[in-house]
Each structure stands twice: as C-alpha cells, then as structure tokens.
Structure 1
Amino acid sequence: MLRELSRLLEELHEGLLAVEARGGVQLSGVEMTLPLELRPVLRDGGCVLLADVPRRLGSDEWTASPSRLCLAWQQADASGDGARVDGGGRP
C-alpha cells in the first residue's frame, strides 16, 4: 500500500527503536538502501510523494525498475544533530 514517504520513514525508524528495545542493544548508526515504488500525487494544492517497498520481486518490460532510497540514521551528538537522511553515497 503506497503511503506518504514521511510515514514510511517513521515506520522504519520505529522498527529500529523496537529492535533496540527487544534486543537490549543501542544502535549508534544504521544505513539502509531500499528499493521503493514512488508515485507523486497532487493533493490539497501541492504534491505528495507516496512510497512503499515493491510488492513484486521481478521486473518486466512493462514495469519500470524501482527507485532506490539510501538513508542513514546516526546517534545524535552533543549538539543534537545526528538524525538525517542521506541523499546518496556515504556520510
């Protein structure tokens, strides 16, 4: 189900917090590269980006290759800066 990209990112972050809670560990940094299906939708006078992981594993000549999202979460430093989305490449 496609949903707003911001909601998808929140769900991924909540999953990482759950891993920490269940596993009794503290993650200092996590990097992910995910295939995503993206669809821009006009809504309320603006454009919203809907996204989800692909439901089908294969691609064919009728289906475009999925986009890839590279992101990283890092533990905040003393200045409070740490959580960020990386536009690609390594931090």
Structure 2
Amino acid sequence: MKKILSVIISAGLVIGLSFGYANKTEAAAKPKVYKNCTEINKVYKGGIAKSSKVKNKGGKTKYKPFVSKALYDANRSKDRDKDGIACER
C-alpha cells in the first residue's frame, strides 16, 4: 500500500511540475517589445545589446548594456545608429 501511494504521489509531482515548467518557458520565449527608448531605459539603463562583443559607435556611454539577442531583435527598430546596441546611454 505504501509503495503504491508513493508511486502515485511521485507521478503527480512529476506531471504537475512539468506543466508549470512548460508555461514558464513559453512566457520566456516571447521577448517584450517596448514602444520607445524611454521605456527600455527604465528597465535597462544601458540599453539592449545583441552580443557582448558589439562596440558602441556613438561615443562614450554611462552604463553597460544588457545583452540579449532575442530582446534586441524584438526592439531592433530602436537602434538608430545600427551598432548592435538599442537605446544605449
């Protein structure tokens, strides 16, 4: 009886956790599209870089950009100087 009960509880935990994990990965798969640089800079002070190897063309900046290719691709239109960093400050 104990063995059957422990198998049922284990199966329930595995199934429950797998559904919770699937929902989190789907939400993380869609990066947020911001409407302007002011909105981006509220969350990411240094802007969003597509790679850690990109260099800023616009001159000296105060903050280091957050690196995320998916987030950069979703907000590519905010990169006015096309250097690979959107909304750098």
TM-score, L = length of structure 1: 0.23
Higher helix fraction (1 or 2): 2
Higher strand fraction (1 or 2): 1
**Greater Rg by CA:** 2
TM-score, L = length of structure 2: 0.23
